[in-house]
């Protein structure tokens, strides 16, 4: 099939629009790490279920559980704007691109959809390769006096 120049431009424009897509996401961390991130930006983790990158989620409740080893009153959730770029869906353990989605295939973000068996919580999770794609919007601190475990925003 031969595509006209016009059709090629439309496809490219559609692809660029998709790659420019942004989402509000969250990252759970310690209060000290949150200060570092807000001052200097994110840095890639050395590894994880999806390899190197910055791990984020569109689910605030999921992010509020991290870091797992810290008590709730020491956790902070960063609300983020994430330009996801080219996204690869990783929806099963042992996926052939589970750790090579960026280095060998050029994707910007790996995405585990909810209820796919990749994450114990059955909630979605993303791994963003380039920390420059992430902008911190605000820090959300737990309301320690509130037994319901709700969070309040400070920034």
> What's the pTM?
0.79
Has residue 16 got a pLDDT over 60?
Answer: no
Mean pLDDT across 62-91 = 95
How many CB atoms are located within 10 Å of the residue 136 CB?
A: 16
pLDDT band at 3 (very low <50, low <70, confident <90, very high): very low
**Which has more pLDDT, 5 or 129?**
129
Question: Domains in the chain, please, with CATH?
Answer: 22-154 (3.90.228.10)
Has residue 80 got a pLDDT over 90?
Answer: yes
Alpha carbon distance 46, 137 (integer Å) = 24
Question: What DSSP string runs through 10-62?
Answer: HHHHHHHHHHT-EEEEEEEEEHHHHHHHHHH----BS--TT-SBEEEBS-HHH
Has residue 112 got a pLDDT over 80?
Answer: yes
User: Are 117 and 68 contacting, i.e. CB atoms less than 8 angstroms apart?
Assistant: no
- The CA radius of gyration of the chain, in Å to the nearest whole number, is 17
């Amino acid at each position: 099939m031969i595509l006209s120049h016009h059709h090629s431009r439309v496809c490219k424009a559609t692809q660029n629009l998709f790659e420019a897509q942004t989402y509000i996401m969250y990252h759970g961390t310690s209060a000290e790490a949150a200060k570092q991130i807000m001052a200097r930006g994110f840095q890639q983790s050395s590894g994880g279920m999806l390899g190197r990158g910055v791990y984020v989620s569109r689910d605030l409740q999921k992010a509020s559980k991290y870091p797992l080893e810290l008590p709730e009153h020491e956790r902070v959730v960063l609300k983020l704007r994430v330009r996801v770029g080219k996204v690869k869906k990783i929806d099963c353990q042992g996926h052939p691109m589970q750790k090579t989605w960026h280095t060998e295939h050029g994707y910007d973000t790996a995405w585990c959809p909810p209820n796919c068996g990749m994450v114990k919580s059955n909630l979605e999770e993303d791994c963003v390769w380039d920390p420059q794609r992430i902008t911190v919007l605000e820090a959300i601190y737990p309301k320690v006096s509130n037994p319901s475990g709700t969070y309040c925003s400070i920034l």
